Amino acid sequence: MKLKKLYLITHLSLAFIILTNAQVNVPITKSDLSDITREREFIKTMNIHLSQTWLYMVKDNTISSNKILISEISYNSDGLPHKMSFFDENRKISNFTVVKYNKQLLPFEEIRFTADSLLINGIMYEYDENNLLDKQINYNNKAEVISVFIHNRTNDSIYISDYDSNNNLKEKSIIILENLNGMNLIKKTLKLDNNNVPLQKQVFEYDEMSALHKKTIFENGINTGYKDFVYSEEGALIKSSFYTADTKLISSTSYEYDQYGNIDRIIERAEKDNNTKVFMINYLTKTSSVK
């Protein structure tokens, strides 16, 4: 079973463009909601209960003999990540995140802890009648609210207002959507300060199959670079590359899949220092490895 865009949401979801401190996928658009539902059902069908990400370093085409355990994700019976643990170089947990879900199987709280279970911070999510994100509430290690994102929607745009703990507007973001082949896709994102001065703009371009093939980034009105995306014949993302505005390659990321369509290898290469990181992902069931 090949997955056309199932795991693409992990890398391209708007939740990670706008909500940079989130670690789980949260539906911003109807397309996001559809992708999240399909991914959940796939994990549940495959009976995956654990995934581990290991890191190998490569320098001058020589791979390190040491592998580093980066993270471990535990899934519940609904196919949803309910605990994400992150490790230090000694394979000891440095921090972990617990995720709670509502009756619609969407995350309503994401809580980060230290290795000894002290609160670091957290996020609470509220949704509208269509199960799309309506509000994000961020709190600190004292459970005090430090910021709130409010979403207001029109037919073709989402307006996100970022307020501090005193309800003062800090920044605004606008997500401009377009309907392509019956899908709600992101055409452009804008980040503005509280005086409506543009801070950042991202422009998204899609191919005839509605797959994202280019993202151009502007900072303070200046083109600072772009990313392009390459897909396999089955529609799976196999490579993304980041270039400067004058087309100089900065870095690239390649994706490889197992026979079931799960991403099982991610290769990140930085051109500047000739370093490559290879992330190996193992998917486990309760009885055996899926790989």
Can you tell me the mean pLDDT for 169-183? 89
Residue 208 has pLDDT above 70, yes or no: yes
DSSP string for 97-129: EEEEE-TTS-EEEEEEEETTS-EEEEEEEEE-T
Tokens of 55: 């890191």
**What pLDDT, on the 0 to 100 scale, is given for residue 288?**
53
**What pLDDT, on the 0 to 100 scale, is given for residue 269?**
93
Q: How far apart are CA 10 and CA 23, in angstroms?
A: 10
Confidence bin at 183 (pLDDT 50/70/90): confident
**What pLDDT, on the 0 to 100 scale, is given for residue 73?**
95
- The CATH code of the domain at 8-285 is 2.40.160
Q: What is the tens place of the pLDDT at every residue in 73-117?
A: 999 999 999 999 999 989 999 999 999 999 999 999 999 999 999
**What pLDDT, on the 0 to 100 scale, is given for residue 272?**
86
Stated length of the chain: 291
**What pLDDT, on the 0 to 100 scale, is given for residue 184?**
81
**What pLDDT, on the 0 to 100 scale, is given for residue 3?**
35
DSSP string for 216-268: EEEETTEEEEEEEEEE-TTS-EEEEEEE-TT--EEEEEEEEE-TTS-EEEEEE
Nearest to 241 by CA among 280, 209, 213: 213
Q: What is the tens place of the pLDDT at every residue in 222-265?
A: 999 999 999 998 888 999 999 999 999 999 999 999 888 889 99
In angstroms, the Cα distances linking 174 to 154, 171, 227 are: 11, 10, 20
Q: What is the tens place of the pLDDT at every residue in 116-173?
A: 999 999 999 999 999 999 999 999 999 999 999 999 999 899 999 999 999 999 999 9
Q: What is the tens place of the pLDDT at every residue in 15-74?
A: 343 444 677 889 998 888 988 999 899 899 999 999 999 999 887 667 776 889 999 999
Tokens of 104: 């619609």
**What pLDDT, on the 0 to 100 scale, is given for residue 100?**
97
Taking the model in full, what pTM does it have?
A: 0.85
